[in-house]
Structure 1
Amino acid sequence: MNDKMFLRLIGQNEKTQLQTIIACNQYTKKFGLSLTEQDVLVLMNDRKSSLKEQERIEFGEGILPKLIFAFCDSPYIYQENYVDVIGRLQDIFYYYKNESMDELSDDELLDYMKELFDGKCEGSLDYLEETCLEHISREIRAGRQGFTGGDTDEF
């Protein structure tokens, strides 16, 4: 099935999401990044899988546009890895929304992810997921304060 046939089969909400994400290209092109419709369809499918796996529901446009805007200026993301990195960041985001017991707002979690990814993690998704965000989530679950506000130097 080609993209045009698929677009006829998806609902209006998905078409709106696709258009919203494609519109992000106007901003991200200045960083040398853009998504094709096929790329967006892959990311939207990944979103559905992540939400199902994490047993989450989401209303509205989802986290993809915010992820794109937050990470498009990263020195560790370039056109060749853009879709894969954004897809993985989306998975990590939903996983750590659960692991942090939703104590962090979407924007707070995105800020931590971006700060860590570009800083301490030096673009390593594995280090971001398995070490840095795991530490933050453990501290939140233990009831320790200090993570709402951007202090990521504790580990």
Structure 2
Amino acid sequence: VLCRDGERIRLGGSAAVLLAEAFCRSSYLSQQEYASTLLQLLDIFYTAKEESLELIGDEELVQLLFAWFEHRCGGSLELLQSRELEYFYRQVHDRAVGGMGADRDA
């Protein structure tokens, strides 16, 4: 749900809960860094929702973020943001305007 001032409010199963449930399985996160990483992931999540033109559901986006983080980025948030999500944004925008980008498996 978007409010008048553009802020996002999620009722029910929040994005934070979805991320926490998914990323608690990560082989790359320790207890000491879990909370700070979750805060960064929450920011990444909301940026990805906006950049993806709200065309992807929250649960699906969390699954993608987790798969990329675990299997393509080796636990690196920097790679997740700079490589995987940039590619994802280009694909979403290409499809939204009718372009055909190269597909890439999650």
Q: Same fold (TM over 0.5)?
A: yes
Counterpart Cα distance in 2 of 1:98 and 1:70: 21
Q: Which residue of the partner structure matches residue 46 of structure 2?
A: 94
Q: Which runs of 5+ in 1 are unaligned?
A: 1-53
Superposed counterparts of 1:111-130, under 5 Å: 111-130=63-82
Contact 1:67 1:86 in 2 (8 A): yes
Aligned residue for 1:142, secondary structure, equals helix
Residue in 2 that maps onto 1:77: 29
TM-score, normalising length: structure 1 = 0.57
Deviation (angstroms), 1:60: 3.0
Q: Tell me which stretches of 4 or more aligned residues in structure 1 moved more than 4 Å.
A: 144-147
Structure 1 residues 105-116: aligned runs within 5 Å: 105-116=57-68
Counterpart contact for 1:100–1:137, Cα < 8 Å: yes
Aligned partners of 1:100 and 1:138 also within 8 Å? no
* Distance apart, 1:58 and its partner CA: 2.4
Whole-angstrom distance in 1 between the partners of 2:16 and 2:8: 15
How many equivalent residue pairs?
Answer: 98
Inter-partner Cα distance in structure 2 for 1:119 and 1:140: 21
User: 1:62-94: CA deviations, max 9, x gaps?
Assistant: 211111110101011111101011110110000
Say whether the 8 Å CA contact 2:94–2:101 is kept in structure 1: no
How well do the aligned residues superpose, as a CA RMSD in angstroms?
A: 2.2
Quote the offset at 1:145 in angstroms.
7.5
**Larger RCO: 1 or 2 (CA < 8 Å, sep 6+):** 2
1:56 and 2:34 aligned: no
Structure 2 gaps of 5+ residues are 1-5
Q: Residue 94 of structure 1: SS of its match in structure 2?
A: helix
User: SS of the counterpart of 2:32?
Assistant: coil
- Given that residues 117 and 128 in structure 1 are in contact (C-alpha distance below 8 angstroms), is that contact kept between their aligned partners in structure 2? yes
Distance 2:10 2:102 in 1: 27
Report the equivalent of 1:134.
Answer: 86
Larger radius of gyration: 1
Deviation at 1:130?
1.5
